[in-house]
Structure 1
Amino acid sequence: MASQPLHASAKDGTKLFVQDWGSGRPVLLLAAWTFNSSVWGSQIVALNAKGYRCVAPDRRGHGRSDMPTAGYDLDTLTDDVAAVIEQRDLRDVTIVAHSMGSIEAVNYLARHGADRIARLVLVAPTTPYLVQSEDNPDAVPRAMVEAQNAAIAQDFPKWMGDNEAPFFMPDTSEATRAWIREMMLSVPLPVALACRKTISFADLRAAARAIDRPTLIVHGDKDASAPLELTGAKTAKLISGSRLAVYEGAPHALPLTHSARLMADLLAFLDS
């Protein structure tokens, strides 16, 4: 395969850094809130070894992508994903989306259609709709969302420290924890907060109902960031024919804490 450019261009000219490794059927990897494409390293190496091409963009304002002051709303972020898919001319794509990546993936299918997409894997998704409303009573109260955002705005490193223990497994190495802390803190706070707001208020219930591609949802039953019953389980009910794999005792950071099991499930799903 010819060498690919390092960037894709968003509609507003924002340069999006893209890792693109291997050849074969493409897997598009979308990262969590304040994570960048580096987090998928182990998955990229494992998938390349099995003959898959891996394409992993850095979200705007994250990693090595440009850092514009605007464009952190759901539709612009989704159009950024579309720009990567179209400019690489990816077809028969499996989207693997972790946490915040899930809202971009589900919204992509609603906004851009499924012509280029073969299947969908949602890892600890934040879909379908996190915040409480009249027609979404069993969700997170708005006041709680606002209190968390205020704590992040005041002292992001402290908030991370307070919330770190349940995010990982007890045996997650300090080196891994330090790597993720550094990655998260490298995102400018205004970008981090704008993205959190987008995650909280993204109502993707109708979009999820309309998905007609084979879908695997993987979720830990000890996920403190996106509790299973509020997110993965609800999403599985909305997506017809989807399969929900629940990892017992598992937290939110599944690509880091359960990478071997996740890879086994992903490869089985890709081959099915």
Structure 2
Amino acid sequence: MPFLKHNEGKEPVRIFYQDYGDGKPVILIHGWPLSHQAWEGQVQSLVEDGFRVIAYDRRGFGRSSQPWGDYDYSALAQDLRQLILHLKLDDVTLVGFSMGGGEVVRYFTDYGGERVSKAALVASIIPLVAQKTDNPEGVPQKNLDGILATLKTDRIGFLKDFHRNFYNYDENTDKMSEMNLDYDFSIASHASPIATIKAAEAWASTDFRNELKNVNVPTLIVHGDADNIVPYKSSAEQAAKGIADNTYKLIKGAPHGLNLTHREQLNELLLEFIRK
């Protein structure tokens, strides 16, 4: 199995990745609390359209190693950077889903977007999850504190029900089966407990608003207008105002997990954008 091993942070890590196809490289960065397997519906479409697709597991998740610390976004972006260097990639399109949007933006902040020609933010947490006086549409801090408290006391119980809201399951039973919920639970429950908590702390607290200007390549922003996890008005709508060269697409009726429920629409948008 392919692993990237590096010692650039406080602890050595092994990052698991899958590398398929040829052509222009596309790196898929998964959301919380899943793994590269969440991109199943996009990998095949992109590879069959002639792209080289790399999907990897964030540290602490999937098959990657599970260090105790270093889950801030600069550490996560460093893993992405090392993967790009390891595979000698150029002209890369970065695609970040949900939490993964943070690695995309931080990569431009920390590395100037070197070797990257395009970016895509899909149902992304960018630029700020938490509700603030100047971010009134965000998630109230008491709700975020409640999530973190539950993860520390009943992580498995929290994860058992999390993905029903992730996919707006009751409204989308024609687009997915309940086995999809079981599949996601299996992936999420086997992630590192400490990584699940620390990664949640990162996406819940990091303010990327001042970093949006660093994204200096054409960027696709895709979000669902029925996203109950990351409301589009505090995320995609704000990202579109802060990233200079962007294409903003709002999918009607799509939940947070639109990569599954609205797979074909998302794939069409990604393919059209990357082909240009």
Class of the TM-score when normalised by the shorter of the 2 chains? over 0.9
Structure 2 residues without counterparts, runs of 5 or longer? none
Identity rate of aligned residues, in percent? 32
Q: Distance in 2 between matches of 1:217 and 1:144?
A: 26
Mean Cα deviation higher: 112-121 or 138-147: 138-147
State the Cα RMSD in Å.
Answer: 1.5
Q: Distance in 2 between matches of 1:192 and 1:66?
A: 13
1:121 and 1:215 in contact (8 A); partners too:
yes
Matched, 1:182 2:174: no
How big is each residue's C-alpha offset from its partner over 1:39-75, in whole Å with a ceiling of 9 and x where there is no partner? 2123111111111001111111111111111111111
Structure 1 residues without counterparts, runs of 5 or longer? none
Moved over 4 A (4+): none
How big is each residue's C-alpha offset from its partner over 1:67-124, in whole Å with a ceiling of 9 and x where there is no partner? 1111111111110111101111111001111001000111001111123111111100
TM-score (normalised: structure 2): 0.92
2:97 counterpart residue number: 98
2:138 and 2:231 in contact (8 A); partners too:
no
For these two proteins, the number of residue pairs brought into alignment is: 268
2:143 counterpart residue number: 144
2:38 counterpart residue number: 39
1:57 and 1:84 in contact (8 A); partners too:
no
How big is each residue's C-alpha offset from its partner over 1:139-193, in whole Å with a ceiling of 9 and x where there is no partner? 2232221012112222233323444333213332122111111111111222101
2:225 and 2:252 in contact (8 A); partners too:
yes
Q: Distance in 1 between matches of 2:236 and 2:201?
A: 19
Query: What aligned pairs does 1:191-206 form with structure 2 within 5 A after superposition?
Result: 191-206=195-210
Q: Distance in 2 between matches of 1:124 and 1:14?
A: 27
Which SS does the other structure have where 2:31 is aligned? coil
2:33 and 2:61 in contact (8 A); partners too:
yes
TM-score (normalised: structure 1): 0.94
> Deviation at 1:134?
4.8
Q: Distance in 1 between matches of 2:83 and 2:160?
A: 34
1:7 and 1:17 in contact (8 A); partners too:
yes
